[in-house]
Structure 1
Amino acid sequence: MSKVIFITGASSGIGKAIGEYLLDKGYIVYGTSRNPEKVLNSRIPLLALDVRNATSIHKAVSELIAKENRIDVLINNAGVGITGPLEEIPSDEIKNNFETNLFGPIEAMKAVLPQMRQQKSGLIINITSIAGYMGLPFRGVYSASKGALELITEAMNMEVQSFGIRITNVAPGDFATNIAAGRYHAPVMEGSAYEKTYGMTLAMMNEHVDSGSDPKQMAEVVLKIINAKKPKIHYKVGAFMQKFSIVLKRILPDTVYERLLMKHYKL
């Protein structure tokens, strides 16, 4: 029997790449979008879901269960980027980022767990970020929201294993998607104390995304996790140096690692 896969944020980018790849492998795949009617020519059936709205999340999950009578895999992919000096990012934008990148995925997990517990099986894959392993300049809010989801994954995986459920996460590096267009950019303000440093860093971040890896790599890792008998808790996908930066953070003194980051960002 084909497994039923539920992917939040599957109308574009990594979510779409994962969904289409799994569809081609014979899985039953459903995605979500805030406005499915505006997504043209989607190969994946899309349910209406706003990850910032708990009612919307539970409604979509109930709709899927009514259609398929089960949910085998939840992929918490919906997320949003945010950049800027912390001092200059509006508090509402910080809250919106956490609603999307942390509280939304938590609510989605809460919504599917009763069904998975009834099935005595299930897998949840949280898409986090390599940025969640370190505090990056002008990306502190994003790093914090994704880092928090990494820790939530660790905790919840221990809580649900006795029900036959596993929770893991995949941390991507830079991939060639439209995330830069969708994220919140604090404006580079003329006369700001951060005008020069933030301006240079923002240009560098956009360049990294534009020259990023093929999202198919993420899809291939997700398939590997779905087929694993005992999935690991953490997976990292990206360029060698992006993944190696996590190793360096673990082994180097804090101040040395900080100097490396500041040199990289020309701060």
Structure 2
Amino acid sequence: MSKVVLITGGSSGIGKSIGEYLQTKNYKVYGTSRNPNNYPDSKFPIIALDVTKVETISSCIEKILSHESKIDVLINNAGAGITGPIEEIPDAEIKRNFETNFFGPINVIKAVLPTMREQNSGLIVNITSIAGYMGLPYRGIYSASKGALELLTEAFRMELKDFNIEMTNVAPGDFATNIAAGRYHAPVLGNSPYKEKYCNTLKTMDDHVDSGGDPQEMADAILKIIETNNPKIHYKVGAFMQKFSIVLKRILPDKAYEKLLMNHYKL
């Protein structure tokens, strides 16, 4: 039987690329979106799910199980970007970002675990970010939410060992998707002490996304992980220098690494 894969945020960007590719490899794919009616031409079923609303998660899982009786792979891909000087980002937006990027994945994981435990098998892939390995200027909230998910996975893995359920992180760098359009941008305030440097950093971030890699690279990586018997804890996918930045953080003194980041962002 084909393995059943659930991809949150599977209607566009990286999630869509992963889903379309897995479908060509004989996987039964289900994606999710808050508004599935917007994607009538999807190559795989899109089910209504909002990771910030537990009742929609339960409904989605029940619908898949009624058709398939199992869920072999969960790919926690739904996420949201956020930028701005931390001092100026409204508290409500900070909480909303963590609801989507951190608490949302936790709740989806909780919803699939009883089924995977009953199956005595399962794989959960959390899509994090290379930004989660470092505190990036004007992306501090995003870095924090993705970094939290990285650490959560490490703990979860040990708790799930008895049930033959694997969990791993995949941290992408910049890919050419529509993520920038869906980000929350703290407004550039005319009297803000951060105005000039925030504007410059925003442009740098958007340029990185526009010149980012092909999302197919992520799809290739996910397929390899699914077909690996013993997945690693952490994977990084993206341009060499983005992945190498994590190595540099490990080996450089903290202040030297901070200076490197500030030079990169022209701060």
| Structure 2 length-normalised TM | 0.99
> What does 1:46-125 align with in structure 2 at a 5 Å threshold?
46-125=46-125
**Quick one: which amino acid aligns to residue 136 of structure 1?**
L
In the other structure, the counterpart of 2:226 is 226
How large is the Cα RMSD of the aligned pairs? 0.6
How far is 1:66 from its partner?
Answer: 1.0
**Quick one: which amino acid aligns to residue 132 of structure 2?**
G
SS in 2 for 1:171: strand
CA distance in 1, matches of 2:203, 2:77: 25
Structure 1 segments, 4+ long, off by >4 Å, are none
CA distance in 2, matches of 1:251, 1:105: 31
In the other structure, the counterpart of 1:162 is 162
CA distance in 2, matches of 1:230, 1:16: 25
Can you give the 5+ residue segments of structure 1 that lack an aligned partner in the other structure?
none
Q: Deviations over 1:91-111 (max 9, x none)?
A: 110000000000000000000
In the other structure, the counterpart of 1:261 is 261
How far is 1:62 from its partner?
Answer: 1.2
Q: How many residues align?
A: 267
In the other structure, the counterpart of 1:150 is 150
CA distance in 2, matches of 1:18, 1:29: 9
In the other structure, the counterpart of 2:188 is 188
CA distance in 2, matches of 1:46, 1:161: 31
SS in 2 for 1:101: helix
How far is 1:74 from its partner?
Answer: 0.1
**Quick one: which amino acid aligns to residue 229 of structure 1?**
N
Percent identity, aligned pairs only, is 68
In the other structure, the counterpart of 2:245 is 245
**Quick one: which amino acid aligns to residue 252 of structure 1?**
L
Can you give the 5+ residue segments of structure 2 that lack an aligned partner in the other structure?
none
**Quick one: which amino acid aligns to residue 109 of structure 2?**
M
CA distance in 1, matches of 2:222, 2:158: 20
**Quick one: which amino acid aligns to residue 264 of structure 1?**
H
SS in 2 for 1:188: coil
CA distance in 1, matches of 2:67, 2:144: 36
**Quick one: which amino acid aligns to residue 221 of structure 2?**
V
CA distance in 1, matches of 2:166, 2:213: 28
**Quick one: which amino acid aligns to residue 54 of structure 1?**
V
In the other structure, the counterpart of 2:198 is 198
Is 2:34 the counterpart of 1:34? yes
CA distance in 2, matches of 1:47, 1:200: 39
CA distance in 2, matches of 1:12, 1:44: 12
CA distance in 2, matches of 1:226, 1:181: 30
CA distance in 1, matches of 2:163, 2:175: 34
